[in-house]
Chain A
């Protein structure tokens, strides 16, 4: 069964405490893996696209990596404004998109 699984479902960090979020996928014909950030009551906002195993992308305190079966979103020295739900989405097959349930991140000052 084609699916996308994110872990953990929720994560609470102290400000400055680095960690990683995981997205594992089992789909056929991967076109790209996308990370989005979603704030409460708003639509998801694009963060990164990864297309092939070994690829890495960075933006401020965030770094995304991709292997053949999973992706990691590393958060270095997070700040309270990084609190949000982080969504992983896989584009696969003929234009299909499957999202993970997300990881709700809370960064405590």
Chain B
């Protein structure tokens, strides 16, 4: 089954404790992206990747890191999480950027206390 998977689905952590949210797709997609979704603000792009070793900032990259060492994986790293990073996070992938629809993962609900 073609899908985007994220882990963990739920995470409660404390300020400053490094964490990684994994994202994997099995569709051989080139483009992958991370979003956060907050009430009243909608989905906002954090980082995106056009292909292996090619990443770029979205609209809200501060406090986040990403890497794309393999085509199928695109982890999101919070090196020192803060309470304002409490949010619902989605990973998405598409065949290529720009002209193609994105397939979204199920979401990771992160709470930073």
Contacts and interface: CB of A to CB of B under 8 A. Distances in A.
Interface of A: 31-32, 34, 41-46, 49, 51, 87, 89, 91, 94-102
Given A95-B50, A98-B45, A101-B40, A46 B99 contact: no
Contact of B104 (A43, A95, A96, A102): A43
B47 to A, nearest CB: 11
Given A43-B106, A100-B42, A95 B90 contact: no
A101 B45 contact: no
Contacts of A44: 43, 90, 102, 104
Contacts, number: 63
B42 A102 contact: yes
Nearest to A100: B42
A41 B45 contact: no
B: contact size bracket: 20 to 34
B107 A96 contact: no
Given A95-B56, A99-B42, A100-B42, A42 B48 contact: no
Considering the complex of A and B, which 8 residue pairs feature the smallest CB-CB distances, nearest first?
A43-B104, A95-B97, A101-B42, A31-B98, A99-B43, A46-B101, A44-B104, A99-B42
Contacts of B107: 41-43
B61 interface: no
Contacts of A41: 107
A95 B45 CA distance: 11
Interface of chain A, helix or strand or loop or mixed? strand
> Of residues B42, B44, B59, B90, which shows the largest number of chain A Cβ atoms within 10 Å of its Cβ?
B42
B101 A95 contact: no
B61 to A, nearest CB: 12
Contact of A45 (B59, B100, B104): B104
Interface string B80-113: 0000000000101000011111111111000000
